[in-house]
Amino acid sequence: MKKLIGIIPLYDEKKESYWMLPGYMKMLEAEKAVPIMLPLTTDTEELDYFLKICGGFLLTGGHDVSPEVYHAKKESWCGECCEMRDKMESYILQKAVEIDTPVLGICRGVQFMNAFYGGTLYQDLNQEYESKIDHHMKPPYNKVAHQVTIEKETPLFKIVGKERIGVNSYHHQAIKDLSVKFEKMAMSEDGLVESIYMPDKKFVIGVQWHPEFSYTVDEDSRKLIKAFVQAVI
């Protein structure tokens, strides 16, 4: 029986539409999982149903995480937020962690995981963090933008078997203060936290880069997605 994985939807406010980048689904399908895009809702009965039937959850990219999540003032350079998505992800993430359901966070996903559990974010790297690395790369998004160094004795090191890997990069927010619930797994060349995990859980991992763009050409991205699917119930 194939594994069912719930994916948090992307939301276009101008078009009033839910949508999905195909790479999120295709990379899971490539590992023989069945991805399902969830409705954007805060109805806890609906969310409890998906928490019951889904063996894992993928927190996708998208809107900026609202500074309200990490109790900060919203600066003018913070981008568009989605209150309903923040509330939905808060519920899904908390409940999934409580029952030890695997969760993978990508880009906004890793940022939200950190913020929800008490960490903070840079609301815009250009305004708040000096770096020579361009973290907002131009297409094609499946090429390497910069390197990250992976901490030994972490799940990510065990997954890829390397201390350094090249990653793509398309984000303007990033982890500032790391939540005490997480341990860092990878750092960028300019000192940003690029991957985290929750040490007392089966698989609660976040990455700042985008395997949904690179999995077709990058073995390390495929290894990460394979490990996620293998952890799914």
Q: Indicate the pLDDT class of residue 14, thresholds 50, 70 and 90.
A: confident
Question: Residue 45: its pLDDT value, please?
Answer: 98
Average pLDDT across the chain, whole number: 97
pLDDT in tens, 135-174: 999 999 999 999 999 999 999 999 999 999 999 999 999 9
Question: Residue 139: its pLDDT value, please?
Answer: 97
Quote the tokens at residue 150. Answer: 């992976």
CA distances from 61 to 20, 202, 229, 230 (A): 10, 22, 19, 22
Residue 13 has pLDDT above 90, yes or no: no
- Edge-to-edge strand order for the sheet containing 3-7? 33-37, 3-7, 56-59, 103-106, 204-207, 193-197, 183-188, 146-150, 164-167
Catalytic residue selected from 107, 135, 171, 194: 107
CA distance 118 to 71: 9
CB neighbour burial string for 179-209, b if at least 16 within 10 angstroms, e if fewer: bebbbbbbbbeeebbbbbbbeebebbbbbbb
Q: Indicate the pLDDT class of residue 233, thresholds 50, 70 and 90.
A: confident
Specify whether the backbone of 203 is left (phi greater than 0), alpha (psi in -120 to 50) or beta. Answer: beta
pLDDT in tens, 179-211: 999 999 999 999 999 999 999 999 999 999 999
Question: Residue 195: its pLDDT value, please?
Answer: 98
How long a stretch of residues is the chain? 233
pLDDT in tens, 207-222: 999 999 999 999 999 9
Our answer to whether residue 210 is catalytic in this structure is yes
Tell me if the pTM is above 0.75.
yes
Maximum distance among all Cα pairs of the chain, rounded to whole angstroms: 49
The verdict on whether omega for the bond into residue 140 sits within 30 degrees of 0, i.e. cis, is yes
CA distance 58 to 24: 8
Catalytic residue selected from 31, 89, 194, 212: 212
Quote the tokens at residue 3. Answer: 């594994």
| Percent of the chain's residues with pLDDT above 90 | 97
Cross-strand partners of 18: 11
Residue 1 has pLDDT above 90, yes or no: no
